[in-house]
Structure 1
Amino acid sequence: MLIERIETNIEDMEKEEIFKRHVERVYLESDHLVKRIQRVTTDHGREIGIRLKEPRDLVAGDVLYMDEKNMIVIDVLADDLLVITPRTIKEMGTIAHQLGNRHLPAQFEDEMMMVQYDYLVEELLQELEIPYNRENRKVKQAFRHIGHSHG
């Protein structure tokens, strides 16, 4: 089976539309969400080729295939993350500046900043006394590095 476009995202579907179908899942590491061309295997052992025609990243919940009885959905494996919860705007600005200098991609959810685990960042958080937890957590999209050079 070759997938060239995303049907929809499961979050945009009515619950009854989901429940009436058998769901197969494709589990991907978050950094594989940026690959438009790849070969994957569902949790039922079905091999699928993905070659997206549109230039977009995959997102957790994307429906690769759907008919009246079945659907194949992208799911993401948990990442080893530092979940940072600054108490003040000053702490947020300080850690955001420090991570920006390191060109580390971050994601935000509610009042939390999430970065992929790095022992140097963990040491920095301890030194700055900014609250954080190390957690295995699923993210909906890939951590993207933004190209930049200090010319």
Structure 2
Amino acid sequence: MLRATEVISAGGWSGASDDEVVLDHDRRHRRRIRLTTSSGVQVLLDLARARHLREGDALLCENGHRIRVRAAAEPLLEIAAPDAAALVRIAWHLGNRHLPTQLLGDRIRIRADHVIAQMVEGLGGTATAVDAPFDPEGGAYAGGHHHHHHDHDDDDERGAPRAPTTLAGDHDLGS
């Protein structure tokens, strides 16, 4: 089994790869996982810390092989709006729901969700089902651990410091 211990970012390498792995969005954020390449070779991804793999990155194996990362097509909604202001408004509503969102200039992609599609249409947009690679924005806190909280006042009513509130979805992905 090959062992990949480094990632070379897309654009940071050139030439042909030795093989490729095709992964959906969820399987592209990893530290350690066994992968199977398109030609059937087993590769152990063994990084020092978790990393989001992007389309075109290369996994560098100990033997020098480079395995290209391909983003798999998955069921998504492609969202459009009649004008930029409407698209920004829709984007705000998606962000308010903490949905992973891919920005494409005049369109937005999210994971397929019929409830959100109805919301988008209620806001004047269109939501079209597509199968495409999904590579959402990393967010303001990408690359580091954070605790997301909505307490806008650091003290309670008695003036005592309040501990940050961590939402159930926040996890340290360090290993």
TM-score bracket for the superposition, by shorter chain length: 0.7 to 0.9
Q: Deviations over 1:92-142 (max 9, x none)?
A: 232122212211121112321111111111111222221232100013468
How many residues are matched? 144
Q: What is the rounded CA distance, in whole Å, between the counterparts of 1:132 and 1:141 in structure 2?
A: 17
Partner of 1:28: 23
Larger radius of gyration: 2
| % identical aligned pairs | 23
Q: Is the 8 A contact 2:55 2:70 kept in 1?
A: yes
The structure that is helix-richer by fraction is: 1
Alignment of 1:1-151 (within 5 A): 1-6=2-7, 8-9=8-9, 11-14=11-14, 17-18=15-16, 23-53=18-48, 55-65=50-60, 71-140=66-135, 148-151=148-151
| TM score, norm. by length of structure 2 | 0.69
Question: Cα offset for 1:11?
Answer: 4.0
Q: What is the rounded CA distance, in whole Å, between the counterparts of 1:37 and 1:141 in structure 2?
A: 21
Question: Cα offset for 1:55?
Answer: 4.9
Q: Is the 8 A contact 1:81 1:114 kept in 2?
A: yes
Q: Is the 8 A contact 1:78 1:138 kept in 2?
A: yes
| Structure 1 residue ranges (4+ consecutive) displaced by more than 6 angstroms after TM superposition | none
Q: Residues 30 and 143 (structure 1 numbering): CA distance in 2 closer, same or farther, change over 3 Å?
A: farther
Gaps of 5+ in 1: none
RMSD: 2.8
Gaps of 5+ in 2: 142-146, 152-175
Q: What is the rounded CA distance, in whole Å, between the counterparts of 1:143 and 1:136 in structure 2?
A: 21
Q: What is the rounded CA distance, in whole Å, between the counterparts of 1:119 and 1:13 in structure 2?
A: 40
